[in-house]
Every structure is written in C-alpha cells, then in structure tokens.
Amino acid sequence: MEIDDIASYTLEKEDEIFYIYQRGYYGCTKIGWPIYIDRIGKVDPKKLLATTSHEQLFKHIWREWEKNLKLRFYASSILFDRQISQVFIIFDLKDL
C-alpha cells in the first residue's frame, strides 16, 4: 500500500473493532487542543487480533492521525484563532 492510499483506506469490520478497542475525540481543551480518549484498559488483545491484523490496525491509526492533521488541527486553529498542533490524550487504564 502506498502512502497516498492511506487517506482512502477503510478498515474492514470497523464497528466491531471500535467495540473491542474504544477510543476517539471528545471536544477541545480551553487552549484549543483536541481531546483524545483511549480506553486501552478495556481492550481484549486476543479478540482484537482475531478480528483484524497488526497491519490493518496500523493503517487505520495512521489514517486517523492524517485526519487529525488535516481536519481537527485546522478546525481548532480557526476556532481558537491561533496555530494548534498538539493533542491532549487521556489513557483510561482501568481494568488493565
């Protein structure tokens, strides 16, 4: 897969994988950073790897980061009237 193909990549069984590995963006901080919540403690690694491969998961995470650069940083920069280039990440380790 070429770098240009990452933007158009769609993950097979995306809904099922999201149910196993819950993560996503939830608003912005007061200074404009997008808030990303990763519920890593809820992941069942065996079930996740039975549903998808390392390569597919990596491509999906890479595509999400590209969307972050192109959409979220851009929108936050406009909304907060300054350059936004950082993310506030919360790792939920409960049940890990």
Residues sharing a CB contact under 8 Å with residue 61, sequence separation 6 or more, in sequence order: none
Range of the domain at 83: 3-91
Distance separating alpha carbons of residues 48 and 68, to the nearest angstrom = 23
Residue 45 CA, chain-centre distance (Å), reads 17
Q: What is the CATH number of the domain that holds 21?
A: 3.40.525.10
Total domain count, the chain: 1
Residue 76 CA, chain-centre distance (Å), reads 16
pLDDT at 78: 94
**Structural contact between residues 38 and 93, judged by C-beta atoms closer than 8 angstroms:** no
* pLDDT (tens place) for every residue of the chain, 96 residues total: 555 555 566 667 778 888 888 888 899 999 999 999 999 998 888 998 898 888 888 888 888 888 888 888 999 999 999 999 999 999 999 987
DSSP structural state of residue 74: H
pLDDT at 4: 56
Neighbours of 5 (CB within 10 A): 10
- Residue 96 maps to a domain: no
Distance separating alpha carbons of residues 44 and 20, to the nearest angstrom = 7
pLDDT at 57: 83
- Residue 10 maps to a domain: yes
